[in-house]
Amino acid sequence: MIRILLNGCNGRMGQVVSGMVKDDEGITIAAGVDTTPDRFTNDYSVYSALNTVKEKADVIVDFSNPKGLPILLAYGIEKKIPMVICTTGHSPEDKENIKSASEKVAILTSANMSLGVNLLLNLVKQAAKALEENFDIEIIEKHHNQKIDSPSGTALIIADTINNALKEKKEYVYGRHSKTGKRTFQELGIHSIRGGNIVGDHSVIFAGAGEVIEVNHSALSRDVFAVGAIRAVKYLYNKKPGFYNMDDVIINK
């Protein structure tokens, strides 16, 4: 039985993970951490800070806030507990700190835990290589009106995946607000839409002369992210220190 320490347990995704784990005989939540520990009634102990947790855990699952990353990494390293970091909105410095921490403890991180999104990344990589000489590339992402970061971490990962596959790197252009003039071929447009309760929708458009190719992914519920996070937990359990991602999870299905 794998014991999870769920950081951000009373947030939207924390509660989805809590519900899904109940139906998985191989995983249990040993304890949770949240800045509002009394917000919900959970069937496990909830603490307001990581350093006050009494229960032992095998893997930390983080669906909290990027501001808490330093404390999370320090705790994981000190306790030698592998971490599945699902939180988005990390700065370049944060990402470097995660990689440095992975030299001491196993860490799996992804801007999007959905298995489908990670498959989309592989598809757009192939498309970018095949179409880069004649096609403009645009990314559109849509999320609910409570999402804090913009553009989404997933949109940025898609853009980076495309750029890394190209012979000549593109320049990221965000929204083109107040920008006049024709689109240049060196641009890679990234556009954000916020509204209602859209769980997550990402479209990658390859627009050429006379034809358009689109690769789309729509998350119809937050369950898809919880499924991916649980798969990641099972993969990371007992892993040696290192930096892992969802590609590792998919390949080792």
Closest alpha carbon to 127 in 244, 208, 247: 208
Of 147, 191, 234, 239, which one is the catalytic site residue?
Answer: 147
The DSSP output letter for 4 is E
What 3-state class would DSSP assign to 121? helix
Q: What are phi and psi of 235, to 5 degrees?
A: -70, -40
Q: Is 112 annotated as a binding residue?
A: yes
DSSP string, 52-81: G--S--SEEEE-S-GGGHHHHHHHHHHHT-
180 is in an annotated binding site: no
208 is known to lie in a ligand binding site: no
Residue 8 marked as a ligand binder: yes
Please indicate whether residue 79 is annotated as part of the active site. no
Is 9 marked as binding a ligand? yes
Active site annotation includes 143: yes
Among residues 90, 142, 143, 217, the one annotated as catalytic is: 143
Does 144 appear as a known binding residue? yes
Q: Is the dihedral of CA 109, 111, 112, 118 positive or negative?
A: negative
> Does 110 carry a binding-site annotation?
yes
Ligand-binding site membership of 87 (annotated): yes
Binding-site annotation: residue ranges for NAD(+):
8-13, 38, 86-88, 110-113
Residues marked active site are found at 143, 147
Binding-site annotation: residue ranges:
8-13, 38-39, 86-88, 110-113, 144, 153-154
Binding-site annotation: residue ranges for (S)-2,3,4,5-tetrahydrodipicolinate:
144, 153-154
Binding-site annotation: residue ranges for NADP(+):
39
